[in-house]
Amino acid sequence: MEVSKAHRPVFHFRPPKNWMNDPNGPMYYNGIYHLFYQYNPYGSVWGNIVWAHSFSTDLINWIPLKPALYASKPFDINGTWSGSATILPGNKPVILYTGIDEQNKQVQNIAFPKDLNDPLLQEWIKPDYNPVITPTPDMNASFFRDPTEGWRGPDGHWRVLVGNRKGNRGLALLYRSRDFIHWTKAKHPLHSSADTGMWECPDFFPVSSDGSQEGLEASVRGDGVKHVLKVSLDHTRFEYYTIGHYLYEKDRYIPDKSYADNSTGLRYDYGNFYASKTFFDAKNKRRILWGWANESDLNTTDTAKGWAGIQTVPRRLWLDENGKQLRQWPIKELETLRLHQVKMNDVSIRKGNSVEIKGITAAQADVEVTFHLPSLSDVRLEPFDPSWSVDPQRLCGEKPSTVGGELGPFGLLTLASENLEEYTAVFFRVFDAKPKPVVLMCSGGIRSSISEEMYKPSFGGFVDVDLSDRKITLRSLIDHSVVESFAAGGKTCITSRVYPKLAEGSNAHLFAFNSGAETIKVKHLKAWNMGSPRMN
């Protein structure tokens, strides 16, 4: 079937056609980056799931290979679901994945490259001794999936996590092994949390706590190291993470008290982003995050267009120097796609005005902007109601870009039609609160398309930023039906999937705007046309 080019992202990872969901088993091996993903070879809705496979030498240009794993054995005959890769000693990659077996039970299987001399690792063998981990009789075998990468404890034994649900408690079950093949369930889960439902796609990894952006390999432990646990909640379709301590002797993870350990917790991305997974890039000593951004249109539209699902751009991820949250930034390689550049400096925008950024392909662009704010002691700010703090998305819905405030809303109107019938607003609003002002970031909204039949949320997240220097930065990657934004150097990230009817392709425009009573200034703005990499 023909694949429709309308709204099709160009520099975001996607297969040549059909349905894609979770990123699986990302790894760097002998100079090559691999990405596997949940894929339907026969259509553009979820089903018939295999592990599709692509490789790259720069994480930007991708070449497809044939599927690495597909249903073929009693232990995965009903599907090869999500999982992870681990590089074992002796430089031997291995995959653990969830198989849906003959009885529709979820079991964990192992697979090895058929030929380690094949630099592309094209063929994978699933030994007949699979499954290597099975649900115990007291478990619900429909909630037992998505094994993590393995790491080694102080005793030299391997550990992995498997996502699970007991009642409405979400759990990260812990398994241990000497040889990566024979696994024993630990008495206690590594961690669990009440009322969070099924924990899909758990991810557990160390981060440097000394302010360095360097990533750490999964088994690193000791001083200067904290750990992150991320889970994907199937009932909200959002993820959250906590930062905490891994007690190696007890094999328990204790999140720091300051974090909500439930669906109100911190997120990598406050928008359309799910089933994410990180890996350690040994070449550049960094941890890289992949996440799936689903379509927001209708299934029938996906069927007609012949494709559905993208991955957000690979993002470097590290612990902020304040130790309180993670930061993310598109990997530097993405900048190799930057082509023609336009600039704007020192442009003041008064209430109700917008300024067009001309001269770029606004449907396929990278924009970096620094807004300069008036002195906060000289302005009135909207008061912040503390009850708003639990649901920034709702607040963005109630206060869209058209609802004027005092300081803000101001920001970008991306994928905008010439006369602004359509636009995806990415913007800030500053509220008065103690001990410091609250900054809200929003993205998306009802105006993103004149077409009514789709999900058009206005996503929101708070930005923990110090405004004493009177500046706030925003970067937005715009790619036809994706607006992926990073505020304050990657402190808050929001991805929106949008489907403009008027502002498509060469009809798309880009504006900076301000609807707040206070004048703001675009101190610096740079925008680039983005090139088109080889994308599968």
Which residues does the annotation mark as catalytic? 22
In terms of Cβ atoms closer than 10 Å to its own Cβ (0-12, 13-18, 19+), residue 232 is: buried
- Smaller CB separation from ligand DQQ, 239 or 518: 239
User: From residue 284 to residue 323, what is the string marking binding to ligand DQQ with x (rule CB under 6 A)?
Assistant: ----------------------------------------
- Smaller CB separation from ligand DQQ, 294 or 515: 294
CB atoms within 10 A of CB 99: 28
Among 12, 17, 105, 145, binds ligand DQQ (CB under 6 A): 145
**300 CB contacts (<8 Å, ≥6 apart)?**
none
Which neighbouring-strand residues pair with 97?
83, 109
Closest contact distance (angstroms) between CB of 91 and ligand DQQ is: 27
- Smaller CB separation from ligand DQQ, 274 or 423: 274
SS3 251: coil
Among 15, 19, 21, 486, binds ligand DQQ (CB under 6 A): 21
Closest contact distance (angstroms) between CB of 274 and ligand DQQ is: 6
CA angle 134, 135, 136 (to 5 degrees): 115
**Cα–Cα distances in angstroms (integers) from residue 62 to residues 35, 48, 329, 528, in the given order:** 9, 23, 20, 22
Closest contact distance (angstroms) between CB of 380 and ligand DQQ is: 45
Say how far apart CA 254 and CA 175 lie, in whole Å. Answer: 18
Among 11, 22, 96, 192, binds ligand DQQ (CB under 6 A): 22
CA nearest 318: which of 196, 447, 207? 207
CA nearest 129: which of 108, 105, 156, 103? 108
Closest contact distance (angstroms) between CB of 326 and ligand DQQ is: 21
- Smaller CB separation from ligand DQQ, 50 or 465: 50
Closest contact distance (angstroms) between CB of 445 and ligand DQQ is: 25
User: From residue 194 to residue 233, what is the string marking binding to ligand DQQ with x (rule CB under 6 A)?
Assistant: ------xx--------------------------------
Give the chain's radius of gyration (CA, Å): 23
Say how far apart CA 278 and CA 118 lie, in whole Å. Answer: 24
Whether the bond into 131 is cis, omega within 30 of 0: yes
Closest contact distance (angstroms) between CB of 145 and ligand DQQ is: 5
Closest contact distance (angstroms) between CB of 127 and ligand DQQ is: 21
Q: Are 506 and 361 in contact (CB under 8 A)?
A: yes
**341 CB contacts (<8 Å, ≥6 apart)?**
526, 527, 528
Closest contact distance (angstroms) between CB of 486 and ligand DQQ is: 23
SS3 365: strand
- Smaller CB separation from ligand DQQ, 38 or 449: 38
User: From residue 34 to residue 73, what is the string marking binding to ligand DQQ with x (rule CB under 6 A)?
Assistant: ----x----------x------------------------
Amino acid identity for residue 238 in this structure: F
Among 59, 112, 135, 146, binds ligand DQQ (CB under 6 A): 146
525 contributes a contact to ligand DQQ by CB under 6 A: no
- Smaller CB separation from ligand DQQ, 49 or 502: 49
Tokens describing residue 399: 């206060």
Concatenating the DSSP letter of every residue in 515-531 gives -SSS-EEEEEEEEEEE-
Closest contact distance (angstroms) between CB of 143 and ligand DQQ is: 9
164 contributes a contact to ligand DQQ by CB under 6 A: no
Strands 158-166, 144-145: pairing is antiparallel
**467 CB contacts (<8 Å, ≥6 apart)?**
373, 376, 430, 436, 437, 439
Total residues contacting ligand DQQ by CB under 6 A comes to 13
Torsion of CA 330, 336, 338, 343, to 10 degrees: 80
Among 82, 109, 219, 443, binds ligand DQQ (CB under 6 A): 82
279 contributes a contact to ligand DQQ by CB under 6 A: no
- Smaller CB separation from ligand DQQ, 21 or 414: 21
SS3 332: helix
Say how far apart CA 273 and CA 264 lie, in whole Å. Answer: 15
Closest contact distance (angstroms) between CB of 480 and ligand DQQ is: 23
98 contributes a contact to ligand DQQ by CB under 6 A: yes
Which residue is at the shortest CB distance from ligand DQQ?
81
81 contributes a contact to ligand DQQ by CB under 6 A: yes
- Smaller CB separation from ligand DQQ, 49 or 395: 49
- Smaller CB separation from ligand DQQ, 164 or 361: 164
Say how far apart CA 496 and CA 472 lie, in whole Å. Answer: 20
CA nearest 275: which of 288, 260, 294? 294
Q: Are 515 and 403 in contact (CB under 8 A)?
A: yes
- Smaller CB separation from ligand DQQ, 229 or 441: 229
Residues in contact with ligand DQQ by the rule CB under 6 A? 21-22, 38, 49, 81-82, 98, 145-146, 200-201, 274-275
